[in-house]
Chain A
Amino acid sequence: MRDDDLEQQAASWRKTHEQALTKPRAIAFSTDSGIPVKELYTPLDLAARGFDYRDDLGFPGEFPFTRGADVTGYRDKIYGIGQYAGFATARDTNRLFKKLIAEGQDSIHVACDLPTNMGYDIDHPLAEGEIGRVGLTISSLADMEEFLDGIDLRRIGVTYVVNPIAPVILAMHIAVARKQGVPLDLLTGCVQNDVMKEYTACGKYIFPPRQAVRLSADIIEYVTEKMPRFYANNIALYHLGEAGADQVQQVAFALAAAIEYCDAVTQRGLPIDRFARNIAFLGYVNHRDLLCEVAKIRAMRRLWAELMKTRYGATLPESMTLKMHCAQGGICLTAGEGLLNFGRITLAALVAALAGVQSLGLRTIDEPYGIPSEEASIISIRIARMVAQETGAMDTIDPLGGSYYVESMTAEIKSRVEDKLAVIEKMGGIVAAIESGYISTEISNSAYAFQTALEGGGKVLLGYRRDAENPYRSPNQNSYYVPSADIARQCRERLEALRRTRDDGGVQRALRRLRAAAEAPASPNLVEPILEAVEAYATMGEICGVLRQVLGEYRMPTVV
């Protein structure tokens, strides 16, 4: 059929059914990102965008990778399952992950507590009341050894969602691998090393942005050279989304951060094809705007491929493919009517399956109330598997490819992200956009718009206004994890014992060498001197303390 015929038919359809079409159940249909949604999408919408199958989609595993990073999609294997979890002590977290692995988890994604994340020893005043609250306490290599005890690092990848302390955690992981006799080139997993979003969305920063970029580049350089199977970063959409960023902002701000890290590494003379394959992303999926979430990830695959090819001149396919572990957002779960969260968790898994991400971590049914319990984490593992193996969504590659709606949204999101990236570029890049307050304001505005729409009834999230004690309460409501009352004492005793038994002279020598390296005008790579300090059993606080003194600290201003 010729397009003008179709156009005529569409116009006639609209005219014939005008009365029915002018009685929608909402004043305006739009996504949470504010993209208008029409009542119907047809080939005309694609034609209006100059859609071309070869240019816009191509084939899986081939440029521009819209239909998938891998040739085979899920025909050879389902997504990896990586629930994010962590208990206060290394021993408990070790037991937890052994259990989760036995239940079908493929890789470890460990949550650390806030003192660890911020590079403080547990006796620092800011650590008061925070020890083990939101995850594992890692004070020194001794904790890491216990956490990974009996876990085969050849087989199990470990992802650390740590940012300003990423070089220290990476060094600890390497040190444990050495002790276990595992060659570094066999290690898989990832260290999240994406501090840019911390200044605007998550708040776990230590150093000023420029210094953070230096450390990030150090890690990429080191990992690329010695740990080819390991990811040197997973640049996050996740935290941006949780802070309120809409779909377009999530992709734009994550890509703007990626550009910053890649620029820093290429400026050191490392060609893009040497390190791009070691960069991954932490995606964000929700049941809300379900089809647009799929479109978002498809758009991002293409944007990343084009960015690598045109901006950086990448030539290898593995430099251009988007590697993504996707995590479900917690913001769309509700404490009221907690049973509904089962549905939300399931739908988020479906989004990931339809989008073709490599790995998935779901939220848990008890997460609106506290830290996920072992049981709730296992249920989420089983839901991920159920969606993968029962729905058929994984049986063909990119099942939504060619949908008039999904392709229209993929193109729309891509174009909006490009506009936003151009704005950030004009400001001088992500660091300038952070320092000027642009990113924070954008995120806050989106969060506020969503919240007011929710409270005004324009957007719906069932159960969020209801008390957690309503009749549809979740059976797992009280199953969440609470660290034992004397956790601080236990951790302090461990740390004191370590300080008594280690070779203090060795620690001081290693810390002096680290300081000298950090101060050196040539800015040598700091991973090696940090590794030396780690192997001497210097504590997290001691190592970060030296770095704080030399690199400085970032402090968010008080706003009057």
Chain B
Amino acid sequence: MSERHGRILIAKAGLDGHDRGAKLVVVALRDAGLEVVYSGLHRLPDEIVKIALEEDVSVIGLSILSGAHQRIVARLQDLLRVAGAPEVTLVVGGFIPAEDVDELLRLGVSAVFGQQTKLDDIVDYMRRTIDATGRTADARR
């Protein structure tokens, strides 16, 4: 079961092509022994949700620097609900103006990481989230 509930999808949505940060996070998570999928660039929200379901991930880490974060996050949350997978944790990283962070949290994002966040802190957060998801899944069983 820990295999089933341990994967992370790092996703790039929309037209934003800057993935230095996304790739850093992918490498850091892999180095820490976690299972990571990288979506590649320019995915539509429904493509991201499709990959998330196919790869059975418990966390989606959306990386976005273009400023289109609110639209894309809202769309992802809708699609996850429709797909019957609202338990998938959504975290956002990238270039998010301070005044938008609260709005993203209100939309149901569980954490927002910025340029000052340490890779180690992201790894810790992901590990805790995955452990919690695993426990929830066990309890449901």
A203 touches B14 (CB 8 A): no
Q: Which residues of B contact A128 (CB under 8 A)?
A: 14, 68, 71-72, 75
Q: Which residues of A contact B40 (CB under 8 A)?
A: 555-559
A509-560 residues with Cβ-Cβ distance < 8 A to B are 555-560
CA of A76 to CA of B4, assembled, Å = 68
B116 touches A467 (CB 8 A): yes
A451 touches B116 (CB 8 A): no
Interface size class of B (residues with CB under 8 A): 35 or more
Q: Could you say which of B39, B67, B75 has the most chain A C-beta atoms within 10 Å of its C-beta?
A: B67
Given contact pairs A130-B68, A203-B19, A468-B98, A556 touches B41 in the complex (Cβ within 8 A): yes
Given contact pairs A125-B44, A557-B40, A560-B55, A115 touches B118 in the complex (Cβ within 8 A): no
Q: Could you say which of B15, B19, B71, B97 has the most chain A C-beta atoms within 10 Å of its C-beta?
A: B15
Given contact pairs A556-B41, A559-B38, A114 touches B16 in the complex (Cβ within 8 A): yes
CA of A226 to CA of B12, assembled, Å = 40
Q: Which residues of B contact A202 (CB under 8 A)?
A: 17-18
A455 touches B120 (CB 8 A): yes
A443-457 residues with Cβ-Cβ distance < 8 A to B are 444, 447-448, 451-452, 455
A470-495 near B? 1/0 per residue, CB < 8 Å: 00000000000000000000000000
CA of A336 to CA of B117, assembled, Å = 12
> Using a CB–CB distance below 8 Å, which chain A residues touch chain B?
114-115, 117-118, 120, 125-130, 133-134, 198, 202-205, 242-244, 331, 334-336, 368-371, 444, 447-448, 451-452, 455, 464-469, 555-560
CA of A464 to CA of B71, assembled, Å = 28
Cβ-based interface call for B128 (8 A): no
- Residue ID in chain B nearest A198 by CB atoms: B17
A126 touches B44 (CB 8 A): yes
Q: What distance in Å separates the Cβ of B91 from its nearest Cβ neighbour in chain A?
A: 18
A464 touches B17 (CB 8 A): no
B22-38 residues with Cβ-Cβ distance < 8 A to A are 23-24, 26-28, 37-38
Q: Which residues of A contact B72 (CB under 8 A)?
A: 128-129
What are the 4 closest A-B residue pairs judged by CB atoms, nearest first? A203-B17, A129-B71, A129-B68, A114-B15
Q: How many contacts A-B (CB < 8 Å)?
A: 109
Given contacts A120-B15, A203-B16, A555-B40, 17 further A-B contacts (CB under 8 A): A118-B42, A128-B75, A130-B16, A133-B67, A203-B17, A203-B18, A205-B17, A335-B115, A444-B24, A455-B118, A464-B115, A466-B116, A557-B40, A558-B38, A558-B39, A559-B37, A559-B38
Cβ-based interface call for B119 (8 A): yes
B118 touches A465 (CB 8 A): yes
Q: Which residues of A contact B51 (CB under 8 A)?
A: 558
Q: Which residues of A contact B98 (CB under 8 A)?
A: 468-469
Cβ-based interface call for B110 (8 A): no
A444 touches B17 (CB 8 A): no
Q: What distance in Å separates the Cβ of A212 from its nearest Cβ neighbour in chain B?
A: 14
CA of A323 to CA of B126, assembled, Å = 47
| Residue contacts A-B, CB under 8 angstroms, 30 given | A114-B15, A118-B42, A126-B15, A126-B42, A128-B68, A128-B75, A130-B14, A130-B15, A130-B16, A133-B66, A203-B18, A203-B19, A203-B42, A242-B20, A243-B20, A244-B20, A335-B115, A370-B97, A447-B23, A447-B24, A448-B23, A448-B24, A448-B28, A455-B120, A465-B118, A468-B98, A555-B40, A556-B40, A556-B41, A560-B55
